[in-house]
Amino acid sequence: MSVRSLCLAILSFGDATGYEIRKESTDGRFSYFEDASFGSIYPALARLESEGLVTVREEPQAGKPARKVYSITEAGRAEFISSLCEPQAPDTFKSPFLLIALNAAQLPPEVVRRALERRRAQVQEELRLLTDTHKDTACPHPGSGWTRDYGIACMNFTLTYLEEHGEALIKIAEDAASPHTAAAE
Amino acid sequence: MSVRSLCLAILSFGDATGYEIRKESTDGRFSYFEDASFGSIYPALARLESEGLVTVREEPQAGKPARKVYSITEAGRAEFISSLCEPQAPDTFKSPFLLIALNAAQLPPEVVRRALERRRAQVQEELRLLTDTHKDTACPHPGSGWTRDYGIACMNFTLTYLEEHGEALIKIAEDAASPHTAAAE
DNA sequence: GGACACATGTAATCGGTTACATGATTAC
DNA sequence: GTAATCATGTAACCGATTACATGTGTCC
């Protein structure tokens, strides 16, 4: 998914500035689709405007550059919906954590322990974000409820699994670090 | 994670050619870390060799270009291990499927149904790959057992969730498509 | 006869990141 | 005082993809 489609997707949920789009793609709900930086968002937005898929309205502010609030047009919405109907790309999961886990026996136990803790914290943070969302949004799209529940279920499962099996992974690292102790056990 | 690190990671598990590295990164076990194409792998391998992190040995074959089998050196292994000790990047999950789910109410029910089916098939295929792996590899790294079990657990959970809640998502699309029928129910 | 797996490599291109440029306001 | 948030935009750079170039063996 390109930054272009990302902008369209976010704007289909409501007006936003380039700044806000970046925030949503990095932290917010849309982090599950693509994250992008300013350097790609601003040019994408300008191009979308020249193509008539979005419109801009400037809101001057004292001291700051004027906010440029973008809205999706009918043409933009149509392109977005039709892009969703095309054959979807497969979901991907990239895990630096699993690479550490895979090599647990070659690493110092503290590194493995830290990796586990980082991953746990990350999952918990995502869970927090997901459960927070449901308060403020009064069900704008019915799909967002389903999606949120799906996310919460997966994150909860992961968290439990990590808590239940994390020690086993640390033990792999410890046993490899001092095989004698392991043999004595 | 760069293609460079990916090559080192794969070679730390055993010798391989550029062709094999690509296969493992696209389909195989290493698809959880990064996938890369020939255009990036061959130059990366050449550079790693010039830096002394890997060695090559050519195996001539009749009719085909000679296989260039790469092996990791001690220096390469050291760099790989030390890269794992550095603060890890967060795990990421990118889901074209969830974008469709999020917009279920705006889409034709068949599109949603197809998306669900595609995702289900994808998870099942990953599961098959994971369960197959455990036969042929006679526990080379202890970490690979843990990683595999983790993957199987997550995939199984996802599969069950999709089977149990898929219909609800399709219903969202159907109700939005024909609100009268929904009201009559 | 055509598609696909094997096998390596280069060049053009492109999408995106990083760094730069600018600057007020608010919180610690 | 210093960091973070708000706010936009450009230019240099870079990593990676795509397409191209070449060629055999095997399966359908």
pLDDT digits (tens, 9 = 90+) for A12-30: 999 999 999 999 999 888 9
Q: Do B1 and A94 touch (CB under 8 A)?
A: yes
Give dist(CA A181, CA A167) in Å, integer: 17
User: So what's the pLDDT on residue A134?
Assistant: 59
Query: Can you give the pTM of this predicted structure?
Result: 0.93
Give dist(CA B90, CA A178) in Å, integer: 29
Q: Do B81 and A107 touch (CB under 8 A)?
A: yes
Query: CA-CA distances (angstroms) from residue B19 to A1, A99, A157, B2, B77?
Result: 27, 21, 36, 17, 21
pLDDT tens sequence across B112-137: 999 999 999 999 999 999 998 755 55
pLDDT tens sequence across A89-133: 999 999 999 999 999 999 999 999 999 999 999 999 999 999 987
pLDDT tens sequence across B147-166: 999 999 999 999 999 999 99
pLDDT level of residue B180 (50, 70, 90 thresholds): low
Q: Is the pLDDT of residue B142 over 70?
A: yes
Contacts across the A-B interface (CB distance below 8 Å) = 177
Q: Do A154 and B157 touch (CB under 8 A)?
A: yes
CA of B62 to C1' of C9 (A): 18
Residues 6+ apart with CB under 8 A from A21: A6, A7, A10, A11, A36, A41, A45, A70
pLDDT level of residue B41 (50, 70, 90 thresholds): very high
Give dist(CA A116, CA A102) in Å, integer: 12
Footprint of strand C on the protein (CB under 7 A): A 2-4, 34-40, 44, 62-65; B 17-20, 23, 38-39, 42-43, 45-46, 61, 64-68
pLDDT tens sequence across A131-163: 987 555 555 689 999 999 999 999 999 999 999
Q: Using CB atoms, pick whichever of B84, B94, B95 lies closest to residue A111.
A: B84
- Tally of CB atoms within 10 A around B173: 24
Question: Rounded to an integer, what is the distance from CA A57 to the centroid of its chain?
Answer: 28
pLDDT level of residue A34 (50, 70, 90 thresholds): very high
Query: CA-CA distances (angstroms) from residue A35 to A44, A104, B85, B129?
Result: 13, 30, 25, 29
User: So what's the pLDDT on residue B134?
Assistant: 59
User: So what's the pLDDT on residue B145?
Assistant: 95
Summarize the confidence of residues B174-182 as an average pLDDT.
77
Residue B140 or residue B26, greater confidence: B26
Give dist(CA B120, CA B128) in Å, integer: 12
User: So what's the pLDDT on residue A63?
Assistant: 74
Give dist(CA A12, CA B67) in Å, integer: 51
C-alpha distance across the termini of chain A, in Å: 51
Asked if A133 is an interface residue toward chain B (Cβ–Cβ < 8 A), one would say no
Per the prediction, chain B carries an average pLDDT of 92
- Which of A66-70, B58-62, B151-155 shows the lowest mean pLDDT across its residues? B58-62
Q: Do B33 and A96 touch (CB under 8 A)?
A: yes
Q: Which nucleotide is nearest to A62 (CA to C1')?
A: C24
